[in-house]
Structure 1
């Protein structure tokens, strides 16, 4: 049996702390912004909210107390499936996040509820839930619900675009759940639109954080001065590039096309180099979702031309 080092233990503790923080943020988003505005979040959070509204009609209990229990109960079958089909590490972290969210939902005081405009609740609630999902995701965990389903499907069917499947599932839960709540609470149809905005904001915040604020940029540089530009790329960015032979259909002139990936903060630096070396160069810049490379790709270089 391999020996567990203190460094590994500290890393694991740190991951559980971050996943727990994700659970706290998720609970605050629901308790402070979503529930007071009678919004329906996507996934199992929204489903637990709908069922809690139904239970309030037949039980002598508050919505918040039912919600904290319902959120955990609905996740139990999924957590069991996660334990069977996925790695134990992911499942235990997800259980931890779910337990933390349920406890925080149960203990938060009434003073934590936001009573302002629904639009503000949608914006801040969406930002918080996006942060919650990202923190859990970055530490190999989740806040349960449809995220577990997506993880299982992705493991056995990697060809399926899980993000779209989860988005559709959240859309169905949000719209149908909002309609049920409208009939129960006599709220305005506005809550459907506000709930959808909440889900979209949360998803966009998660996507933005996943890509990062320094997401890679792909440069396609068609130039006759490829040697000079290539030399500067190697010198200032400490990385290689790919060269293709190309020919213009209009003038028939043969040139070279350089393909290189740089960090976002290096974008303007490389544009400066291209303008300096070849003002007539034809350049296309594209966003890149991710790069699989050696760790040195993300190293910063501060040398100036």
Structure 2
């Protein structure tokens, strides 16, 4: 239950960031940086009597069916919620805070802020096994069946939309849109890696029993013991190996500092951990 609540909160934060990045920065500058919004922006140029928000909903409905059939029910339900929520937020912004021109004249600023805000939001949503709809669904399919990183998959699926932007708004905006798609993919992958970042800790200490007990009892985490022999001293000791999130790693480091300041510790970043206590392999 607690996990579901956290997932729900994170999806809402993510889709709010996506809507803000799109509406306040990318859409006023006609920057079609892929996704349902980018395609809707291009189509709105052809059929202006339909708003961007309405077109986003129509596009997403078509892709929802694909999400359910190919990726699964859980992803499909959460994607429906996130994508409709994003579209409705854009519609709400259109009604409450109408914008007829870019916030600033510098298109690079519009592009940079829009991409970073929306891409971080997309990364948060993707990390909850959902998407904000549109071509993100195609990207998830590429990720699931071909193992392509989400950000790169988004880049591949959105490339065609940037070509449409070039025809609709001119080559200059098309090139800016392509730059935005590339930045978007990089920021999404960086965001997901940052959220999932864990620490693998290797510990050699005279207080291994106490440290092992602290990891298992206080941090509620598992650990693996290896028997090792020092090359210089010839001493035989246990090596404790544990994978922890950043918060638990800080707690463990502080504890080791208290019980054995001479402990030998190596730490490395782990960008994905699957299994008991972490994400399931299917996720």
2:98 is aligned with 1:110: yes
Question: Residue 219 of structure 2 corresponds to which residue in structure 1?
Answer: 237
Aligned partner of residue 170 in structure 2, secondary structure: helix
> What pairs with 1:249-264 in structure 2 (closer than 5 Å)?
249=231, 252-264=234-246
CA displacement, residues 96-135 of structure 1 (integer Å, 9 cap, x when unaligned): 4444444544550434865124444344423442454356
Check the 8 A contact 2:140/2:153 in 1, yes or no: no
Residue in structure 1 matched with residue 264 of structure 2 by the alignment:
282
Q: Superposition RMSD on alpha carbons, in Å? A: 4.2
Residue among 189, 194, 199 paired with 1:217: 199
Structure 2: stretches of 5+ with no match in the other structure: 279-283
Q: 1:200 to 1:121 in 2, by over 3 A?
A: farther
Alignment of 1:64-75 (within 5 A): 65-75=50-60
Distance between the aligned counterparts of 1:34 and 1:200, measured in 2? 17
**Structure 1 residue 43 displacement after superposition:** 3.2
Q: Distance in 2 between matches of 1:222 and 1:105?
A: 54
Report if the CA contact (8 A) 2:166-2:174 is conserved: no
TM-score, structure 2 length as denominator? 0.69
Kept after mapping to 2: 8 A contact 1:20/1:96: no
Of 118, 123, 136, the match for 1:147: 136
Superposition TM-score, scaled by structure 1 size? 0.65
Contact map agreement 1:39 1:195 (CA 8 A) in 2: no
Pick aligned residue for 2:76 from 88, 91, 106: 91
In structure 1, the gaps of 5 or more residues are 1-6, 296-305
> Counterparts of 1:39 and 1:135 in 2: how far apart (Å)?
22
Partner of 1:247: 229
- Distance in 1 (alpha carbons) for counterparts of 2:151 and 2:121: 20
Q: Which aligned pairs between 1:14-33 and structure 2 lie closer than 5 A? A: 15=8, 25-33=17-25
Following TM superposition, by how much is the alpha carbon of 1:258 offset from its aligned partner in structure 2, in angstroms? 0.9
Tell me which moved more, 97-106 or 140-149: 97-106
Cα distance in 2, alignment partners of residues 47 and 66 from structure 1 = 12
Provide the residue aligned with 2:186 in structure 1. 200
Greater CA drift, 119-128 or 283-292 = 119-128
